[in-house]
Amino acid sequence: MRDPRPVHGRACASAVVLLVVVGLLAACASATPAGGDAAPVPEGVTSPAGRDPAADDPSSPGPAPGAQGGHAGDRGPDLSAHSPDDPSSPWVVVNKARPLDRAYVPELTEVRGYLLHPAAATDLTALLAAAEEDGVHLTVRSAYRSAEYQARVHDGWVAQLGRERAEQVSARPGHSEHQTGLAVDLGSTTQPGCDFSDCFGSTPEGRWLVEHATDFGFLLRYTAANQDLTGFAPEGWHLRHVGRELSAHLARERVDTLEELFDVPGGDRYP
Ligand SMILES: [Zn+2]
């Protein structure tokens, strides 16, 4: 989802950035706004294989039954450990069919001037540092957003794009993962004009996320392949924190969405 959510006194600068982004979007045929959770499909970002570095690893077929040295993790996490329904759960599933209480506010801490849940903040800090070591410099563009703020974001996209398109790219208030504090939108330093746009997926930063986000407990939540299930257009910049155990499990099992994993409703329609 677009729209920066600065913490301290950066509202003016962010507003300027947003205006620039909006202008760039208007100038880029493939660009899509993102007040919610989606934008067009960056190639590469939408590749399931790209999200699953373990998929092609012939060395990890899993241990033989009864083999000594097998790890508990080989059986995957206990999926009943955290609820997909509790807003404070690290595995909460929020989509068009599954709203949050609009009054819900998560525990939050600051990362690079933005607010995130502490668990997500820790892993994001590690992700950003690892990217830097690889010479990839990501920016944080948006993180926690209250329902009230999301309402303004959504209204803005409806005004700009019309309701039909806005609903594909922007969540209504109470239906955004950003309200959980577990979602973050990242940007490119080499091609900042691609932030919140289709072309983000082809930037060095977007490609790095395809390869490595899972390693740090994040999912690229909205892809072309899962749009029917998530209800939102693809967004190569939107990461959802679920923790490293679950992100590894999803990659290993080639499960693309939280909706499928927990067998909960999703899709394009609001109740
Ligand atoms: Zn987002």
User: Would you kindly state where each structural domain of the chain is located, as residue ranges?
Assistant: 11-56+81-262
Contacts (Cβ under 8 Å, ≥6 apart) of 120 = 181, 182, 184, 217, 218, 241
Q: Does domain 11-56+81-262 have CATH number 3.30.1380.10?
A: yes
Model-wide pTM > 0.85: no
What would the two tokens of residue 23 be? Answer: 């202008």
DSSP 124-152: HHHHHHHHHHTT--EEEEE----HHHHHH
Digit-by-digit pLDDT tens for the chain (271 residues) are: 555 444 443 443 444 344 333 333 333 333 334 434 443 322 222 233 333 333 333 333 333 333 333 344 457 899 999 999 999 999 999 999 999 999 999 999 999 999 999 999 999 999 999 999 999 999 999 999 999 999 999 999 999 999 999 999 999 999 999 999 999 999 999 999 999 999 999 999 999 999 999 999 999 999 999 999 999 999 999 999 999 999 999 999 999 999 999 999 999 999 8
CA of 170 relative to ligand 1 center, distance in Å: 9
What would the two tokens of residue 134 be? Answer: 């690889």
In whole angstroms, what is the distance from residue 54 CA to residue 61 CA? Answer: 10
For residue 57, the model assigns a pLDDT of: 34
Distances (CA, A) of 125 to 58, 128, 131, 133, 145: 31, 5, 10, 12, 19
CA of 53 relative to ligand 1 center, distance in Å: 23
CA of 140 relative to ligand 1 center, distance in Å: 11
DSSP 48: T
DSSP 2-38: -S--BSSS-HHHHHHHHHHHHHHHHH-TT----SSS-
- Using DSSP, state whether 166 is helix, strand or coil: helix
CA of 229 relative to ligand 1 center, distance in Å: 16
CA of 60 relative to ligand 1 center, distance in Å: 32
Protein residues with C-beta less than 5 angstroms from the ion ligand 1? 1, 185, 238
CA of 14 relative to ligand 1 center, distance in Å: 16
For residue 76, the model assigns a pLDDT of: 86
In whole angstroms, what is the distance from residue 219 CA to residue 153 CA? Answer: 23
